[in-house]
Amino acid sequence: MYAEHAAAMQANTMLIMSRTQSASQAATTGKQLNDLGLRALDAPVSGGVVGAEAGTLTIMVGGSQVDFDAAQTALTTVGSNLFHMGSECGMGSTMKTVNQLLCGVHIAAAAEATHVAENAGLDLAQVHSILSVSAANSWMLGNRGPRMLQDDPAVTSAVDIFVKDLSIVAQEAHRAKSGLPLAAAALQMFLAAPGQGHGLADDSQVIRAYRGLNRGAAT
């Protein structure tokens, strides 16, 4: 996509890459753009649609200090938490990979815990009320947990997105020869959910994969 439009851009034009991609892909694309006389920032975001609309996204930026400073007006239009991760394209995406690893594991862990409570016959609304004021609480539990109790919640981020993001985590781990057993386990559950037909459902619905695993059929 970038290469397709780069030829039409004026020299020294800055392109800000905010998609979730591997650090190696960000570095390669950044170099390709630089070789074409363009400037590039690797600037993935966290905060979702709500954060974008409110202008409160967290933005993790890799690229030169000069380019980071020059992009402040554009970046602060959508983000209130800006972090310069380093001078190379790929450093922002490395940080986003760390973020998505934790997000995916936290959602899967919340789904697993909710499913245990569900199978035990506990009142799930009460379970989440208790967890929200207990040491086990997390941002993802508080945000996704209530949606796990709904049959068909509105989609804010699809299961398939975490299949992609956790696959990037696995790819980067393979490249670095690093064992990431928790991320690998979370990825398997996110892969199982679309296998049961839930890929386009809200990512909280990874809980359906646990139901399918332990009841013998998807629900």
Active site residue ranges: 96
Instruction: Supply the DSSP string of 118-143, one letter for each residue.
Output: HHTT--HHHHHHHHTTSTT--HHHHH
CA torsion angle for 132, 135, 139, 145 (degrees, to 10)? -50
Tokens 């009841």 belong to residue? 215
**Eight-class DSSP state of 89:** T
Distance CA 51, CA 198 (A): 25
Q: How many CB atoms lie within 10 A of CB 67?
A: 19
User: Quick one: how far is CA 131 from the chain centroid?
Assistant: 23
State which amino acid sits at residue 20. Answer: T
